[in-house]
Amino acid sequence: MSTFITANEIISITSRHGFVLCGAASTDPLPEFDRYLDWIKAGYQGTMHFLEDPKGMKSRSNPEQLFPGSMSVLVLGARYTIDRLTESPFPLSGRIASYAWGKDYHDVLQHRAELVMSDISDSLGKPVENFVAVDSSPILEKPLAKRARLGWTGNNSLLIHPRLGSFFFLTNIFLKEKLDPIFNNLYGSCGTCHRCIDACPTACILPGGLLEARRCISYLTIEHRGIIPVELRKSMGNWIYGCTICQAVCPWNRKPGNNYVLPEFEAADERVIFPDLVEIVHLSDDEFKSRFSGTSLKRLKRSRLVRNAAVALGNSGQLDAVKPLGWLLENEPDPVIRCHAAWGLGQIRTSKARTILSVRLTREIDSSVQSEIRQALDLP
């Protein structure tokens, strides 16, 4: 029996601070690391080279390496809003993934985990050494959550809980204590279902719960810097930050239990979910920082968000998209953004769009943008 506080006390404390899932896992080496290594060797991580960092590899293989001396991990889950993929009520609007509708989850979960540890320390009457890992730490979160019996890896590679589905964040608290088991009645599987595989616009979901991240819309809109591959742009639709399609179609997310969402993660209004693409295009760096301060989008930087907005404008096919795309092509100093503006105009293909492209071609000095304009005009 552990000398730490009981499992029931831990559940009471964590639920008090908004966590709807709670489990305990050891920090023993993870057998799933070999599968992760194969994923890296296949190049599925794309340009996310931080996932290949040798130091990070050590803690992904052996979680104890992240917080030396740790014996257990308290694995917590916090709900964010289920995205039903409702249609936007606004013209020329983008779409934001639901996990980014509210405040930056890194900050929120870090703060709430610290409150959990403060209460645990008070209960024990002494400080408790710990390390909180939220998303960005080099650990294999899902295998740890599976070890804590919080779910299974779905076909879409996400952790799925039988009552909560997959719309929740994970938070890990490393402790130099041995925790008693926390019972979680885990049942269910994906079975023969393949709805997420069929629904993915870019076909990035591979057999066996593998994700080819370099094709994933979330990767393309957030992690990928530079020019988005032409063959994937059309499939991005109006997503400008993340994507939840593979979650929205999952049967386990149809009628999940415990829909309590932390207030910090709720959208203030519909414009958070469906931002005006024309406004996004015209944001200055300072305006971007001011508008998205305190949210996950602040990590994206203006350049990638405007690039994504240019793709979404092109995919809209709307005549009203020609003016903002033309403005970008003419005034935007970043050639990467101009490339996507040219592509967007090429998707609309009106005489006005073609005129803007033709005029710009006569004075464009960047070779990549020149190439995009030529392709948009069907020129050799």
Distance CA 312, CA 300 (A): 16
Residues present in the chain in total: 380
pLDDT above 70 covers a percentage of the chain that reads 98
Alpha helix (H) residue ranges in 268-380:
270-273, 277-281, 285-292, 302-316, 322-331, 335-348, 351-361, 367-376
Domain 277-380 maps to which CATH number in 3.40.50.620, 3.40.50.300, 1.25.10.10, 3.40.50.720? 1.25.10.10
Percent of the chain with pLDDT over 90: 94
Instruction: List strands edge to edge, sheet with 130-133.
Output: 21-26, 72-79, 168-175, 130-133
Instruction: Return the sign of the alpha-carbon dihedral for residues 341, 343, 349, 354.
Output: positive
Q: Looking up tokens 């393309």, which residue turns up?
A: 220
Longest pairwise C-alpha distance within the chain: 77
Q: Which pLDDT score, from 0 to 100, does residue 259 have?
A: 78
Residue 168 C-beta-side C-alpha neighbours within 13 Å: 33
CA–CA separation, 202 and 36 (whole Å): 22
Residue 2 has a pLDDT of 56
In tens, the pLDDT along 130-139 reads 999 999 899 9
Would you state the pLDDT for residue 282? 98
Buried/exposed code over 152-177 (b: 16+ C-beta within 10 A; e: otherwise): bbbbbbbbbbbbbbbbbbbbbbbbbb
Helix (H, G, I), strand (E, B) or coil at 105: helix
pLDDT at 3: 66
pLDDT digits (tens, 9 = 90+) for 151-207: 999 999 999 999 999 999 999 999 999 999 898 888 889 999 999 999 999 999 999
Whole-model pTM: value is 0.95
- Contact status, residue 309 vs residue 228, Cβ threshold 8 Å: no
Q: DSSP 3-state helix, strand, coil percentages of the chain (rounded to 5)? A: 45, 10, 40
Answer yes or no: is pLDDT of 1 > 70.
Answer: no
Residue 210 has pLDDT above 70, yes or no: yes
Is 50 exceeded by the pLDDT of residue 339? yes
Q: What per-residue confidence (pLDDT) applies to 123?
A: 95
Q: Where are the beta strands (DSSP E) in the chain?
A: 21-26, 72-79, 95-96, 130-133, 152-153, 159-160, 168-175, 205-206, 210-211, 239-241
φ, ψ for residue 277 (rounded to 5)?
A: -65, -35
Q: Which two tokens stand for residue 316?
A: 């809209």
- Nearest one of 293, 167, 327, 317 to 238, comparing CA atoms: 317
Report the distance separating Cα 342 and Cα 338, nearest Å: 6
For tokens 């020609």, what's the residue? 322
Q: How does pLDDT run across 96-131, given as a tens digit for each residue?
A: 999 999 999 999 999 999 999 999 999 999 999 999
Q: Residues 223-253: pLDDT tens digits?
A: 999 999 999 999 999 999 999 999 999 999 9
Q: Shortest CA distance to 268 belongs to which of 294, 239, 247?
A: 294
Beta carbons within 8 Å of 263's beta carbon, 6+ residues apart: 102
Q: In sequence order, what are the residues at sequence separation of 6 or more whose Cβ sits closer than 8 angstroms to the Cβ of residue 52?
A: 40, 45
CA distance 132 to 110: 7
Question: What does residue 240 show for φ and ψ, rounded to 5 degrees?
Answer: -120, -10
Q: What's residue 69's pLDDT?
A: 98
User: Which entry of 34, 83, 119, 135 is annotated as an active-site residue?
Assistant: 135
pLDDT digit string, tens, across residues 255-292: 777 678 999 999 999 999 999 999 999 999 999 999 99
Q: Quick one: pLDDT at residue 91?
A: 93
The Cα 323–Cα 192 span in angstroms is 47
Alpha carbons 215 and 157: distance in angstroms, whole number: 14
Q: What value does the mean pLDDT of the chain take?
A: 96
How many angstroms separate the CA atoms of 272 and 287, rounded?
15
Domain with CATH 1.25.10.10 in the chain: 277-380
135 is catalytic: yes
**Among 14, 144, 155, 164, residue whose Cα is nearest residue 72:** 144
Q: Which residues pair with 170 in a beta bridge?
A: 77
